[in-house]
Amino acid sequence: MRFGVNYTPRVNWWHAWLDFQPAEIARDFEQIAALGLDHVRIFPVWTYFQPDRLHVRPQAIDDLLRMVGLAGEAGLDVQVDGIQGHLSSFDFYPPWTQTWHRRNVFTDPDVIAGQTLLLRTIGEAIRDRPNVIGMTVGNEMNNLVEHNPVTAAEVDDWVEAMLAALDDALPEKLRCHSAYDAAWYTDGHPFTPQTSARKGMLTTVHPWVFSNSCAIRYGPLSTATTHLAEYAVELAKAYAVGPGREVWVQEVGAPEGHIPPEDAPEFAARIIANAVTCEDVFGITWWCSHDVDRSMADFPMLEYSLGLIDSSGKTKPIGESVAAAVRELRATKPTPVHRDTALLFDGGGVDSRAASGPGGAFFESWMRYAESGTRLAIVLADRAEEGGYLEARGITRLLRP
């Protein structure tokens, strides 16, 4: 199982692409590797990589390759997210997609051609690098839905087009996509659980404890909060077509205002320990490596302090806690628990998601079992009768919420 971190450059955050400083990045990677982590997830910024629809900057690709190389020198593997798109509350729209050139970034054929050009160009550049894990289409592109209205069918077409570009560009590497939690918990949201759980080579989940105010609602060290990643993995497995599809806890973190700093180390240890009890976990990637320097403006308050390492370069207590958890997990190599008992979720349609999110009846029922020490799988009700399905998943007992 992989343990890594979402990289946030200590100097200039992801605006670092504009003033590429290899020495700063090398130092950041050495610090990350020193925590015992094995990979970083990194984020090209769309407006900096592709200022013109037909041109991906060769220098940007060179800088990306340099970053991949520096990670390799530090002993880190790399997952590259193609289209940003969205990062930490900021959207990055190239000028050829907005205002006078306004076009829907999910449905406009020229924009889609531009996006696939970006993905292919990055993918072909990095595919032979041994320390590249693969590519994600982009970070939580469903944050762009608000300003680019789109149907679920259109999202599926878009995700398939993006994944096809990745399939062409780096067929030997991991190809996946990602979405923020509205995909799982918000009725009507056009990115669906099915899209997350059935497209790409594995399912990514981003179980943020601020989703539906989970940590505030239940408490920072509550069962619901500390089992949220475990739950997200099991929910993702329920939506998958069949058994065995891997799930990547690609973002998990301890946002201030939701997790008090004094509880953060304990929270981190517990949410990781619970998540690794699931089968088929590809890895856990903490958000994020470095705090955002307070001299940078306009980030939401919680985004400044999500790092394992502070903005002066000092490892924080939560960094020590994550490092210790990872060290222990690497030493003990715990075996995931096979879950032969599943909670039946009478949902799975586009408009039944709210029940499965924090605050929802199904979510709370699952968490009551977790509270009593029972680790449950999840089965969608409409699949329970499907011939061979339960057997394939090794589920012998069904509970109703």
* Binding residues vs its own copies (CB under 8 A): 12-13, 15, 18-19, 47-48, 51-55, 57, 59-60, 89-93, 95-96, 98-101, 110, 114, 143, 146-147, 295-298
Measured distance CA(85)–CA(73) in Å, rounded? 28
Minimum CB distance to its own copies, residue 254 (Å): 22
DSSP per residue, 360-375: SHHHHHHHHHHHTT--
Question: Least distance to its own copies from the beta carbon of 304, Å?
Answer: 13
**The 377-380 sheet, strands edge to edge:** 377-380, 341-345, 397-399
- In the complex, least distance from residue 87 CB atom to its own copies, rounded to whole angstroms: 9
Distance CA(8)–CA(10), nearest Å, equals 6
Q: Which is nearer to its own copies, 7 or 14 (CB)?
A: 14
Which residues on adjacent β-strands are paired with residue 138?
83
CB nearer to its own copies: give 55 or 338: 55
Q: How far is residue 393's CA from residue 244's CA, in Å, rounded to a whole number?
A: 8
Quote the strand ranges of 7-159, DSSP E.
39-42, 77-83, 86-87, 90-91, 132-138
Q: CA-CA distance, 45 to 24, in Å (whole number)?
A: 18
Closest CB to its own copies among 97 and 195?
A: 97
Minimum CB distance to its own copies, residue 97 (Å): 9
Q: In angstroms, what is the minimal distance from the CB of 174 to its own copies?
A: 28
- At closest approach, how far in Å is the CB of 92 from its own copies? 6
Cβ closest to its own copies, residue 153 vs residue 296: 296
Considering the complex, state which of residue 90 and residue 389 has its C-beta at the smaller distance from its own copies: 90
HSE-CB of 162 using CA atoms within 13 angstroms: 31
Residues 6 or more apart whose CB falls under 8 angstroms from that of 211 comprise: 180, 181, 185, 228, 357, 358
The nearer residue to its own copies, 102 or 338, going by C-beta atoms, is 102
Of the two residues 54 and 241, which places its CB atom closer to its own copies in the complex?
54
Output the smallest distance, CB 36 to its own copies, in A: 32
Residue 379: phi and psi, rounded to 5, are -130, 135
Q: CA–CA separation, 287 vs 250, rounded Å?
A: 8
Distance CA 376, CA 366 (A): 7
Nearest distance in Å: CB 9, its own copies: 13
CA distances from 178 to 83, 242, 360 (A): 11, 19, 23
Q: Sort residue 296 into left (φ over 0), alpha (ψ -120 to 50) or beta.
A: beta
**Cβ 86 to its own copies shortest distance, Å:** 8
Residue at token pair 């002993």: 75
Residue closer to its own copies (CB basis): 48 or 158? 48
Q: Residue with structure tokens 């990637």?
A: 285
| Of 114 and 220, CB closest to its own copies | 114
